Structure 1
Amino acid sequence: MYDDLDIFAAVVEHSSLNRASRQLNLSQPALSRKISKLEERLGVALFTRHGKRLELTEVGRLTYTYALEQRQQRSRFLEALSKFKEGEPLLVTLGASLTTLQTTLPPLVNAYMEKFPAAELKLITGKTHEIVSSVSEGKSDVGIIASMVQEPGLRCIPLFEDQLRLVVSGQHPLALSAKLTMDDLSRLPMLLFSKGTWYRRLTDDLFQRSGIEPDVRLEIDSFEAIVRLLPTIKAAALLPKSYLRPELLNGGGLVSLYIKELEQTQRTTCLIYRDDGALSTAARSLVQVTEEIYLSRHE
């Protein structure tokens, strides 16, 4: 039936049995029989015939739309099959936390898709322990997490070290300060991550150790929202250095400030995957690109 749908579509597109028969390399009688058999199989008339001129019926237009969809689906399948035969990546499932999605993944995804444009990435978000479980159970091929783990059956590769930086608008009173300490954050209006998140626990622990009580103006889970709100609320925020790319700071009129005590917030972002040798071509390619991007910086 599907071959007959292709033939039917060709007749529609040429608006003539005669022209379609030449294009399909079929005799006109043979082509007419195929169209008639398709109509019999469907139980409907696809054309209204006016002498040599054919006009689609309403159900004929519906059938033509379906024929085009089948043609496109077949084309996508054959393209994917061709890529698979060539050994190129197809689909890879990547697990990461929401914060990692905002910091580490944009440059990684761009590099991966540039190198393997036929690849498809499926992203799964969750907390660190959820991503570890997802990779261990095979629900995710690869994971990127913000800590080192020692999990049986998983390989954990350190990618880079990260730490928090104080971020303010270029118009903020602290923007021109030559040297800052944690004491400068006491009663300072700040935007913080919501309670219960990893970053909030990290900052709360830091404040407690330093004896600091910031003036919390807003609690939110989005880096992007925090960056956009900083100039409006005239507050400060603690954000990971990996997120603070030059284009983001310059475009938002923001300044990243160093405080020595913030070195205590250092963490290691890692790549994890199963070490049983069961990685797909797509997953192996993603691991390769990730290592090229991050590990080459240390060489």
Structure 2
Amino acid sequence: MFEDLNAFAVIVEQSSLNKASKLLNLSQPALSRKIAKLEEELGVQLFDRRGKRLEITSTGRFVYTFALEQRQRQLRFLQKLSRHKNEAQSMLTLGASLTTLQTTLPTLVEAFMSKHPQTELKLLTGKTHEIVAFVRDKKADAGVVGSAIHEAGLRCIPLFDDHLELVVPLGHELTARAGTASMKDLQGLPMIIFSKGTWYRSLTDDLFQRSGIMPDIRMEIDSFEAIVRLLPTCKASALLPKSYLRSELLRDNGLTALFLPDLKETRRTTSLIYSETADLSSTARSWISETRASFAGYRMV
């Protein structure tokens, strides 16, 4: 009915069936059928037909007022719908493993939000397999995880390689052996390590076992930031991912990072994942392209 009401209003405004039919891109017979159908549905006569002339009836004027109101309501609805669609497209849901949440993601989010300040960001965290499930089930637009993913329906883009480095306070005895220190120097060394159940804890436990090393474990913590802050106070060392060890972070906390050749064995790949079948919003596509561009040609080894 609303389409027919609009056609009726156009006839009234144009004062001509011929002009209205051209404006509506309809033939005159088709337009006449619309008006006849509307009159039948409403049970009223909208026009007095005097030869080729149409004169609106008093009831027709009442219906015309209603038609204008409906036109304005439809316009407001379409405007609100458009705003809603734009707002929905400016939402971004990301999944991040606990490791990437503390290392890689903050810098990426800061860069993206500086370019897209109106974006509403939602973050889902969990273990790598949980992030994969979020993206696969379309609960997240994309994910950043600390490993390479091979799963049907998902695209995995390697961003960079990472490995652990030994972090010690400035003035630590091992700083004098920078470049020559080895895993053997970790024997009995006071250390803060990751909590049990974390991926990095499994990695370091395996590393210590293969190297025959037994450090002096002072604390077990699952926060990179807490470990960094406690190292100088406890005069301890830690194995932390190179991607996290920004120069200003080390400087501000009175720390230095030492490279041990054996730690190359801890190399892992941080990857961007997203669904190949999902209908991604323009915001999600921007995130993916900008994240890929920020690591183009960059590999940390």
For normalisation by structure 1, the TM-score amounts to 0.70
Q: CA deviation at 1:297?
A: 3.2
Superposition pairs of residues 49-88 of structure 1, within 5 angstroms = 81=83, 84=86
**Partner of residue 45, structure 1:** none
Aligned to 2:168: 168
3-state SS in 1 of match to 2:100: helix
Q: In the TM superposition, what is the alpha-carbon distance from 1:81 to its structure 2 partner?
A: 2.1
Aligned to 1:130: 130
Q: CA deviation at 1:121?
A: 1.1
Instruction: Please tell me the residue identity of whatever aligns with 2:221.
Output: I
Q: Distance in 2 between matches of 1:195 and 1:271?
A: 26
Q: Give the equivalent residue in structure 2 for 1:293.
A: 294
* Counterparts of 2:200 and 2:264, CA distance in 1: 14
> Structure 2 counterpart of 1:99, which letter?
T
Shift of 1:282: 1.5
Q: 1:265 and 2:274 equivalent?
A: no
Residue of structure 2 equivalent to 1:242? 243
Q: Which residue of 1 aligns with 2:189?
A: 188
Counterparts of 2:235 and 2:171, CA distance in 1: 8
Q: Deviation above 6 Å: which 4+ runs of structure 1? A: none
> Are the structure 2 counterparts of residues 155 and 169 from structure 1 closer, same or farther at C-alpha, using a change threshold of 3 Å?
same
Q: CA deviation at 1:277?
A: 4.7
User: Which residue in the other structure is 2:64 paired with?
Assistant: none
Check whether the contact 2:168–2:236 (CA below 8 A) recurs between aligned residues: yes
Aligned to 2:221: 220
Number of the residue aligned with 2:53: none
Are the aligned partners of 1:142 and 1:273 in contact in 2 as well (CA < 8 Å)? yes
8 Å contact from structure 1 (residues 89, 116) kept in 2 = no
**Is contact 1:182-1:259 (8 Å) kept?**
yes
1:204 aligns with 2:205: yes
Cα gap change, 1:83 to 1:247, in 2 (>3 Å):
farther
Aligned partner letter, 2:234? I
Q: By how many angstroms is 1:141 displaced? A: 0.8
Give percent identity, aligned residues only. Answer: 58
Amino acid at match of 1:159: L
* 274-283 or 154-163, which deviates more: 274-283
Structure 2 Cα separation of the partners of residues 129 and 155 of structure 1: 15
Return the offset for 1:196.
1.2
**TM-aligned CA deviation for residue 82 of structure 1:** 8.6
Report the Cα offset of residue 296 of structure 1.
4.5
One-letter amino acid of the counterpart of residue 84, structure 1: N
Shift of 1:89: 5.2
Q: Alignment partner of 2:295: what SS?
A: helix
Alpha-carbon distance in structure 2 between the residues aligned to 1:233 and 1:149: 38
Letter in 1 for 2:241: P
String of CA shifts for 1:171-223, please: whole Å, max 9, x gaps. Answer: 22112213110000001010000011100000000111100011110000000
Give CA-to-partner distance per residue, 1:77-108, whole Å, 9 cap, x none. 97x929929xx951111000122111101110
Paired with 1:231 and 1:206, the residues of 2 have a C-alpha distance of 24
In the other structure, the counterpart of 1:96 is: 96
Q: Secondary structure at the match of 2:270?
A: strand
Q: Which residue is 1:11 aligned to?
A: none
**TM-score calculated relative to the size of structure 2:** 0.70
State the superposition RMSD in angstroms: 2.0
**Map of 1:283 onto structure 2:** 284
Whole-Å Cα distance in 2 between the matches of residues 91 and 147 of structure 1?
A: 26
CA distance in 2, matches of 1:228, 1:177: 23
8 Å contact kept, 1:89–1:118:
no
- Kept in 1, the 8 Å contact 2:159–2:298? The answer is no
Distance in 1 of aligned mates of 2:89 and 2:259: 41
What CA distance in whole angstroms lies between the structure 1 residues aligned with 2:211 and 2:139?
41
**Structure 2 equivalent of residue 231 of structure 1:** 232
Tell whether the 8 Å contact from 2:100 to 2:145 is kept in structure 1 after alignment. Answer: yes
Unaligned runs of 5+ in 1: 1-76
